[in-house]
Structure 1
């Protein structure tokens, strides 16, 4: 998936990652998501999240190297929250660099 399809916000060495409007439009309605586990170490080549949607199934690589310190538990229970453009509810994971 293209880097334009996810957003990142960094604060104090912690990066929050989510899907942009462009990414969501490319995928379509998200129906399933597989997130990493808290404590997982990621490199830029590792899959951060696997998304199944109306138009595509995609592995989204991690934009940064680091350790997963939080995942969006709401997205695990209800993947449709990732269809929202509100970053406070539609983030995927937080990674400590």
Structure 2
């Protein structure tokens, strides 16, 4: 399932643009590939992230995977509910399963992301 109105990265993160901030999570495709998520390590509020660098870790019964920053900026909010209920990412990847909110350093980086249609094509070709 791919949700309209979002942007996507080739590392399987989704972004919801909210002014100069973006809410970030992993896609339904990514959570499906990981399987049952059992632990999530999130950054701290105030941390700076650079586009392309790992900023969180998601562990499932199958594997551990880094989550890569789709944009550069500052973490202004984390989804603390995931620390006690990481399986929320499996159940609601686009709603309650969001990971962080990033205040953008450069809105131009959004131009490098994929539309829902482009992301659908990308995962079909993987």
TM norm structure 1: 0.90
TM norm structure 2: 0.71
Matches within 5 A, 1:44-55: 44-55=51-62
Q: Give per-residue Cα distances to partners, 1:24-51, cap 9 Å, x unaligned.
A: 1111110001000000000013212101
CA contact (8 A) 1:4 1:20 kept: no
Distance 1:39 1:3 in 2: 25
Structure 1 unpaired stretches of 5+? none
Instruction: Give the equivalent residue in structure 2 for 1:40.
Output: 47
CA contact (8 A) 1:20 1:85 kept: no
Q: Give per-residue Cα distances to partners, 1:56-78, cap 9 Å, x unaligned.
A: 21111110100000000100121
Instruction: Give the equivalent residue in structure 2 for 1:23.
Output: 30
Q: Which has the larger radius of gyration?
A: 2
1:14 counterpart = 2:21: yes
**Higher alpha-carbon deviation: 80-89 or 10-19:** 80-89
Instruction: Give the equivalent residue in structure 2 for 1:91.
Output: 98
Aligned residues: 96
Root mean square deviation, CA, Å: 1.5
Going from structure 1 to structure 2, the CA distance change for 1:86 and 1:24 (only over 3 Å counts) comes to closer
Q: Decide which structure has greater strand share.
A: 1
